[in-house]
Copies of this chain bind each other. A is one copy, B any other.
Amino acid sequence: MTIRVLIVDDHEVVRQGLRFVLEQEEGIEVAGESGDGAAALHAVRGLRPDVVLLDLVMPVMDGLAVLERLRGEAGRPAVIVLTSFQEEDRVVEAVRLGALSYLSKTTAVDQVVEAVRAAARGGSVLEPGIAALLLGRVRQGGRPRPLDLLTPRERQVLSAVARGRSNAEIARDLRMGRETVKTHVSSILAKLGVADRTQAAIFALQQGHVPLDEALG
């Protein structure tokens, strides 16, 4: 049984690198490559790969959108998420959407091979740094990350703050009173341990709570 792999990444060098590494292995075959999420979805349906190596940050349609579309489909492939640094929030979101394994692009190449084999067996491989991140999230013993302390509504408000909106604008956007926005913002500042909205915005962008390229629409 050869393991058939689909590689999804917008950087061609990365695709070539992964292809090169994987094709040197016995029992692994690269079934195809895609440069964006839309193409990836099409490829998954056409090629029916066993394993998908999926980059999270991509133009057109990003990795999370692909995961979301794939969820619940019959005979969907095992997905290994490839992340860069500083996308903690997106990684956690990917977990929620059912991705099996997570690798940082900084990891050694033999770990990639290992992850592919594990994923084909239905197993899961976690790069140490990412494992630590997820464990810290799941286990309630470790102090929760600041962003987890926020209520859903506060997260919405924080998103707006990180997009450069004023309290009055946020009030209009989210259909609530200006005073309410202020209440939420105050809670956010307290929970995040920052001094003002600018620092809160920077924090949100750093954590990937709002993608940098979507801020300031």
Chain A residues at the B interface, C-beta cutoff of 8 Å: 10-18, 20-21, 35, 59, 84-86, 105-109, 112, 161-164, 166, 194-199, 201-203, 205-206, 212-213, 215-216
Report the Cα distance A215→B201, complex, angstroms: 11
Which residues of chain B are near A11, meaning CB under 8 Å? 14, 84, 105-106
Which residues of chain B are near A201, meaning CB under 8 Å? 198, 201-202
Known contacts A195-B164, A198-B164, A203-B216; A21/B10 CB under 8 A: no
Are B12 and A107 interface neighbours, CB within 8 A? Answer: yes
Nearest residue (CB) in B for A216 is: B202
Contact of A17 among B17, B194, B205 (CB under 8 A): B17
Are B198 and A161 interface neighbours, CB within 8 A? Answer: yes
Nearest residue (CB) in B for A107 is: B12
Within the complex, the shortest CB–CB distance from A157 to chain B, in Å, comes to 13
Which residues of chain B are near A84, meaning CB under 8 Å? 11
Are A164 and B194 interface neighbours, CB within 8 A? Answer: yes
Are A16 and B10 interface neighbours, CB within 8 A? Answer: no
Given A164-B198, A201-B202, A203-B216: 13 more A-B contacts, CB < 8 Å: A11-B14, A11-B106, A12-B107, A17-B20, A85-B213, A161-B198, A164-B194, A164-B199, A197-B198, A202-B215, A206-B212, A206-B216, A212-B212
Report the Cα distance A20→B14, complex, angstroms: 11
Q: List 27 A-B contacts (CB under 8 A).
A: A11-B84, A13-B14, A13-B17, A13-B18, A13-B109, A13-B112, A14-B105, A15-B17, A16-B20, A16-B21, A16-B109, A17-B18, A17-B20, A20-B20, A35-B106, A59-B85, A161-B198, A164-B194, A164-B198, A197-B198, A198-B201, A199-B216, A201-B202, A202-B205, A202-B216, A206-B213, A212-B212
